[in-house]
Structure 1
Amino acid sequence: MSTRSYAILGTGAIGGFYGAKLQQLGMDVHFLLHSDYEQVCRQGLLIESPMGSFTLSAVKAYHHPEQIPACDVVIVALKTTKNYLLPQLLPPVLKDDGVVVILQNGLGIEPQVAEIVNSKRVIGGLCFICSNKVGKGHIRHLDYGMITMGEYQDDYQPGGITPRMQQIAEDFNNAGIPVELSENLLLARWKKLVWNIPYNGLSVVLNAKTDELMNAPDSRILVEEIMQEVVRGAKGNHCKISQQFVQKMLNHTEKMKPYLTSMKLDYNEKRPLEIEAIIGNPLRMATEKGIDLPHIAMLYRQLKFLDYQNLNFH
């Protein structure tokens, strides 16, 4: 059994699920909680999952980062809209030789974290999972669960497969979470955007679940056109994504249970949308290379408008 300790920053649909699976295995896991703190202290953490539902009755729950013992691995699973808190949250919970694993959507997050903890201590992770927080301390996992991990190097240079990545992946694998290791984190992040940009963005703009986007001919065309723009943006940043991969994302989504994306759930709950990390940052990276992505540029402006209206005019 691994002796690594884990801190979970953001005990929601992602952090709560993966952290609970690690603790279920017997790992030493510490959870930072905000609005759920008292509920989880009293009732524990409930995970509903087709892989097997369970309750963690004894949770090492904390309300403030200073209360958490310094850990070997800190998993950042906050919404990217809360990343302004990381300079306060990360230093107290990370051991001097510890590593930060970022399980967040989007692009351009690792450089921000590297400024806080230095670039040699950052691993990026991409979660291919359908999971929602449905109540305080209550997470409903619907489907999938795989994580892709890659080492972050300055300017997203390929970092290869390192021993520490393999060790962390082994912990997740033992907890029933498949992990794929990537030598090129930037490529892995662009590949995730092939799904994230069209489905997250259009789910809000068109007020639709994934199955509705796939079933209507015109929205499906729009999904595919946006995917092709992501492929073009990636190519301009020296990341080649095959057409087979695009088709695989379409096939996966066709078979997926009808799903409200995380951005649509945030919109419905009148929470700030993760527009910059998921759409703004990749759009800017492409524009800087002289690549025009008109569908994504329009999606970005539409989402900025809807987010502004949603947050300012209840």
Structure 2
Amino acid sequence: MESFSDRTYAILGTGALGGFYGSRLQKAGADVHFLLHSDYEHVNKHGLVIESKDGDFTLPDVRAYDDVQKMPPCDVVIVAFKTTHNHLLPKLLPSVVKDDGVVLVLQNGLGVEDEVAEIVGDKRVMGGLCFLCSNKVGPGHIRHLDYGEVKFAEYAIGYNSQGITTRMCQIAADFDRAGIPIKLAADLLLARWQKLVWNIPYNGLSVVLDARTDELMGNTHTRALVEELMWEVAAGAKSCDRIIADSFIEMMLDWTVKMKPYRTSMKIDYDEKRPLEVETMFGNPLRLAQQKGANLPKITMLYQQLKFLDARNSH
């Protein structure tokens, strides 16, 4: 077993995703610093508890912070909170990322790296896509149900493909040592559109139809609707000169049928009356595709329905 690099990690948003990946990194020997909000007191006293299909574990001692100014500058800063909190990024990022460090954006949707690049510069940004079924079930308590793969890609202005870089491989090696399945992608824009193939139908329909993934796949009408939405996402990608293969759509459908019944992250946010990630997950891809001349009527309708439900839910 190789020892860990001397790279330091900051986790901004220690929830279902940041808490899970950060804990795995620390358990494997990495130097990890966690920014917390509501769970700070609890985690500072009791640490983090991970229930996982790959084995449960507890980290009694974690470097927990309630103020980003108290955190040391780190080599890799992982942004793991929901995009509805991205207005906080200009306050959070400048002090916590080293001059030669990188911000790894593990968020859903499209266009999120652009916001980060405006704060830290475009050379210090990477995107990551998480295929993870994980929920926070209590303060500092995370339940990992299924999957867990992360796909990394370098960011560039205009989302031009950057290929596989040395720093991607270095960070991937740390994740690999932590037992986190990793893929490296040469093209971030393609990877983001591919993730939307899953996120747009399942997150959107789960809220609008009040349904879990297994219910959406178990009914012939909603299964057909899921598939039609996936084809629209592929049309959006094509408008940006990114091709999503038919086999990829088949794989996503097949994958979801085999998945444990899952309440999507957007459905959980809706049920908990939290703001929904409508703009990054639906609005941004729609606007980009429309600028390129693509018409995506079903996604447009879903976007409009979600905007209504999100507004009504926040009163």
Provide TM-score, normalisation by structure 1: 0.99
Q: Distance in 2 between matches of 1:148 and 1:158?
A: 15
Deviation at 1:178, TM superposition (A): 1.1
Q: Distance in 2 between matches of 1:69 and 1:145?
A: 28
Q: Distance in 1 between matches of 2:241 and 2:124?
A: 24
1:66 equivalent in alignment to 2:95: no
> In the alignment, which of 121, 130, 135 is matched to residue 133 of structure 2?
130
Question: What is the aligned partner in structure 2 of residue 171 from structure 1?
Answer: 174
Q: Secondary structure, in 3 states, of the residue corresponding to 1:161?
A: coil
Deviation at 1:276, TM superposition (A): 0.5
Q: Distance in 1 between matches of 2:59 and 2:136?
A: 15
Q: Secondary structure, in 3 states, of the residue corresponding to 2:133?
A: strand
Q: Distance in 2 between matches of 1:284 and 1:219?
A: 25
Root-mean-square deviation over aligned CA pairs: 0.4
Q: Distance in 1 between matches of 2:76 and 2:165?
A: 15
Identity rate, percent: 65
Question: What is the aligned partner in structure 2 of residue 261 from structure 1?
Answer: 264
Q: Distance in 2 between matches of 1:311 and 1:136?
A: 23
How do 1:90-109 and structure 2 match up within 5 A? 90-109=93-112
Question: What is the aligned partner in structure 2 of residue 2 from structure 1?
Answer: 5
Question: What is the aligned partner in structure 2 of residue 21 from structure 1?
Answer: 24
- Deviations, residues 187-231 of structure 1 (Å, cap 9, x unaligned): 000000000000000000000000000001110011000000000
The number of aligned residues is 312
Question: What is the aligned partner in structure 1 of residue 205 from structure 2?
Answer: 202
How do 1:208-247 and structure 2 match up within 5 A? 208-247=211-250
- Deviations, residues 245-266 of structure 1 (Å, cap 9, x unaligned): 0000000000000000000000
Provide TM-score, normalisation by structure 2: 0.99
Structure 2: gaps of 5 or more residues: none
Structure 1: gaps of 5 or more residues: none
1:295 equivalent in alignment to 2:267: no
Amino acid at match of 2:149: M
Q: Distance in 2 between matches of 1:290 and 1:240?
A: 16
Q: Distance in 2 between matches of 1:289 and 1:49?
A: 42
1:110 equivalent in alignment to 2:113: yes
> In the alignment, which of 235, 255, 262 is matched to residue 252 of structure 1?
255
> In the alignment, which of 287, 293, 312 is matched to residue 284 of structure 1?
287
1:157 equivalent in alignment to 2:160: yes
Deviation at 1:277, TM superposition (A): 0.6
Deviation at 1:290, TM superposition (A): 1.1
Q: Secondary structure, in 3 states, of the residue corresponding to 1:149?
A: strand
Q: Distance in 1 between matches of 2:5 and 2:246?
A: 39
Q: Distance in 2 between matches of 1:276 and 1:173?
A: 32
Deviation at 1:42, TM superposition (A): 1.2
Q: Secondary structure, in 3 states, of the residue corresponding to 1:147?
A: strand
Question: What is the aligned partner in structure 2 of residue 81 from structure 1?
Answer: 84
- Deviations, residues 232-256 of structure 1 (Å, cap 9, x unaligned): 0000001000000000000000000
Q: Secondary structure, in 3 states, of the residue corresponding to 2:314?
A: helix
Deviation at 1:115, TM superposition (A): 0.3
